Amino acid sequence: MPDSDNTCEQFVNPMQSVMSRFKLVSANKVRELLDNLSSSKATGLDQLPGQIVKAAGYANVPSLTHVFNHGILSSCFPLDWKMARFLPVC
């Protein structure tokens, strides 16, 4: 292999976090999303109805905002957030 004056950085592109494309959320945005949460939809894997999520969420808007923003900044989310119930429709 011939010698080269090229550096490693010229061959390897720095990896950009996918999360860097996301913007941090504000408490107002979290509150707005809770307002728009449907109470008639089926529960998720946590089995919590939308009505309970809404009612409990309002009291926890600052905490929820912090948790969501921490996930975006650290690119680290709870494993349970990465799971979904999938039902194929025929």
How many domains is the chain partitioned into structurally? 1
Q: How far apart are CA 71 and CA 80, in angstroms?
A: 13
Q: Is residue 64 part of a domain?
A: yes
| Structural domain contains residue 57 | yes
pLDDT in tens, 34-90: 988 888 887 888 888 888 888 888 899 999 999 999 988 888 888 888 888 777 887
Q: How confident is the model at residue 19 (pLDDT cuts 50, 70, 90)?
A: low
Its pTM stands at: 0.65
Whether 73 is in a domain gets the answer yes
Residue 26 lies in a domain: yes
Distance between the two ends of the chain, CA-based, in angstroms?
A: 57
Its domain, for residue 57, covers 22-34+46-78
pLDDT (0 to 100) of residue 22? 84
The C-alpha angle with vertex 24 and arms to 56 and 51, in degrees rounded to 5, equals 20
